[in-house]
Structure 1
Amino acid sequence: MKNHPSTATRAAKGARSQVRIIGGRWRGRKLQFTEVAGLRPTGDRIRETLFNWLTPWLGGARCLDLFAGSGALGIEALSRGAAEVTLIEKHPQAAENLRGNCVQLKADDARIIQADTLVWLANSSPDQPFDIVFLDPPFSSDLLQPCCELMQKPGLLATGSLIYLETDRYQPLPEISPTWELLREKTAGQVSYRLYRVS
């Protein structure tokens, strides 16, 4: 039996990997990405559940993927009928991979921004509020709480907007705004995931 290198070792070597789009117009297409520290694509099973939850709201939605990584969430949303998606990714190689994948898919409604998520949130002024936000930072980071606070900025979210939050199952939840209503929650393995609606 071969010894498989650890995730950290593979990331350090810039190993190539891929994740499959599981629904919509690009169903079965694969997104190529370089393994970098903290990049952890949301698994197929969780994505299937999440997008079943989101189906009533996805058509024509404006989506924001705050820690885009492989693009598994944002590009899946676009595949399933979202009107546009803004993908924020700090790591230069990961952002370059996102651009390459979107070119191959001819995903003209995807906007890739290489930026620190907290800096972008603090300084962004979108023309219209986002309908769906994916918040899935690296589990080892302390980014959830500041992200949740910065998302209270006027103009980023509208009443009825949806927020997807993915965490380690043992990670304490950040302080959630009283205007965020919990719609769904589930745990799969080491991952807890929740869907909120801004009320």
Structure 2
Amino acid sequence: MRVCAGKHGSRRLESLKGDLTRPTGDKVKEAIFSSIGPYFDGGVMLDLFGGSGGMALEAISRGMDYAFICDKNKAAIQVIKKNIEILHEQANTSVMQADYHKVLPCLKNERFRLVYLDPPYAMHVYEEIMKYLQENKMLTDDAYVICESDSKVDLPVRIGTLEKYKEKVYGKSKIHMYKGVSE
């Protein structure tokens, strides 16, 4: 696994051993970022089910100012911290080890420009989390919410003020891309 582009482009990252996480492949990562940018002029990102932290670190490499990377798995947190050290991005990241139910209330004062949701495929929490983010005004007006799910999962076209503008299947995964729309 590597950072695809930006200031850390081509730098290798560690991934979690075993099958506890599914690191987002370089091809999928590149497609996602090409679709939403591909580069940022600042902003804050939330990677709620961080795994290795690869998506958040890619966003920082491409110009995002700051990223909150969360995971409840202790081994994942260790890998995330190691990857942050590899790229010397300690000042631009916060790592939180907790379940998303505990993390979200702690971040209520943040406003995210990019949110990446890649929970274990058996968890169907995308709508719940997107509604929570909107109800608590945690998204910027130009925010993107990207969801990675099992390829068989269908998510609504619209969730609150978020509207799906793109959906694509990559093998066993499906990427759902949402952007805010005005009422």
Shift in Å, 1:37: 4.9
Structure 2 matches for 1:18-167, cutoff 5 A? Answer: 19-35=1-17, 37-55=19-37, 58-107=40-89, 108-126=91-109, 128-167=110-149
Q: Which moved more, 1:112-121 or 1:75-84?
A: 112-121
Q: Deviations over 1:18-38 (max 9, x none)?
A: x11111111111111333554
- The match for 1:168 is 150
Unaligned runs of 5+ in 2: none
Unaligned runs of 5+ in 1: 1-18
Please say if residues 157 and 164 of structure 2, whose CA atoms lie closer than 8 Å, have aligned partners that are also in contact: no
TM-score normalised by length of structure 2: 0.89
The count of aligned residue pairs is 180
Give the % identical residues: 28
Q: Give the structure with higher Rg (CA).
A: 1
CA distance in 1, matches of 2:19, 2:105: 24
Shift in Å, 1:116: 0.7
Q: Residue 40 of structure 1: SS of its match in structure 2?
A: coil
Please say if residues 63 and 131 of structure 1, whose CA atoms lie closer than 8 Å, have aligned partners that are also in contact: yes
The letter of the residue matching 1:120 is V
Q: CA RMSD in A?
A: 1.9
Shift in Å, 1:73: 0.7
Q: Residue 179 of structure 2: SS of its match in structure 1?
A: strand
TM-score normalised by length of structure 1: 0.82
